């Protein structure tokens, strides 16, 4: 498994595991727990979740799934913007820690920009770092102007990452956000790297996949993983899906294949507003 390093020195795999919409259907709980545990055993040791997911139900599932595995995992969670005041973020983190059955979160993110001043959120994050409740903090769904404002705020340069929507059909960050992150040596975390399975699987994706005897969405995930400085966090609710994601990591796309994908899924030629789903 290829790795990437955060500014504070933590090294993580470029392929992790997302958990959005997991833990919400009791009949799927056993399969989802097995999938997460398998992913960890296959080297996908970064696990991403959020208090928003299932209003805490997903964090509870992750806590159960990581029983006995916590020290092997780099655990990421996110705080609601309306909970991101200096005191509110501390209280929210405590609730997440309880659901996750752990004493620390490795990376704690502001889920998206809200009305709370950034300096208040940063102060709460830093208090959590000082208390050993989180190891580092970052943001999610921040566009370039948000990152500039963050870095101008007191303590803002301690940000470890920005997690955004990025895949073949959502390439907007490539225009200006990804270069900015690269200049500041911040990894970008890509959520929904295969558009929750909704990418068109006919055409060029099918053509490349057929020649390689793999699935089209594995090619789409391999493309995200080919981007420098990017961590992909696809969700997989079954062991078969986990194995397919892990196999995508080992697909090295040729220059010809990358050019074909660029032709059919064009890179942005102008600024696009950051997208969220």
Catalytic residue ranges: 53
Helix 204-212 with 216-225: angle, nearest 10 deg: 100
Contacts of 134 (CB under 8 A, 6+ apart): 93, 104, 105, 106, 107, 108, 125, 128
Q: For residues 185-216, b (16+ Cβ closer than 10 Å) or e, as one string?
A: ebbbbbbbbbbeeebeeeebbeebbeeeebbb
Distance CA 85, CA 127 (A): 12
Distance CA 231, CA 162 (A): 10
SS3 content of the chain, % helix, strand, coil (to 5): 45, 15, 40
Structure tokens at 260: 């074909």
The H or E element spanning position 110 is strand 107-110
């Amino acid at each position: 498994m290829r790795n990437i390093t955060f500014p504070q020195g933590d090294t993580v795999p470029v392929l992790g595991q997302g958990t959005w919409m997991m833990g919400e259907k009791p009949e799927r709980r056993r399969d989802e727990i097995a999938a997460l545990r398998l992913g960890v055993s296959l080297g996908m040791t970064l696990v991403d979740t959020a208090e928003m997911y299932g209003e805490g139900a997903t964090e509870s599932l992750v806590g159960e799934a990581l029983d006995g595995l916590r020290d092997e995992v780099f655990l990421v969670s996110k705080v609601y913007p309306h909970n991101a005041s200096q005191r509110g973020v501390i209280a929210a983190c405590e609730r997440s820690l309880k659901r996750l059955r752990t004493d620390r979160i490795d990376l704690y993110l502001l889920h998206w920009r809200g009305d709370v001043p950034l300096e208040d959120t940063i102060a709460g994050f830093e208090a959590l770092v000082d208390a050993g409740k989180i190891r580092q903090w970052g943001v999610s769904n921040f566009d370039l102007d948000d990152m500039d404002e963050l870095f101008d705020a007191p303590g803002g340069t301690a940000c470890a990452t920005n997690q955004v929507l990025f895949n073949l059909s959502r390439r907007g960050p490539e225009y200006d956000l990804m270069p900015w992150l690269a200049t500041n040596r911040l990894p970008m975390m890509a959520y929904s790297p295969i558009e929750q399975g909704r990418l068109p699987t006919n055409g060029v994706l099918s053509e490349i996949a057929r020649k390689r005897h793999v699935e089209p969405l594995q090619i789409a995930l391999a493309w995200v993983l080919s981007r420098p400085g990017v961590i992909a966090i696809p969700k997989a609710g079954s062991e078969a899906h986990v194995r397919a994601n892990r196999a995508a990591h080992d697909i090295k796309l040729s220059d010809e294949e990358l050019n074909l994908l660029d032709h059919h899924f064009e890179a942005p030629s102008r600024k696009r507003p950051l997208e969220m789903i």
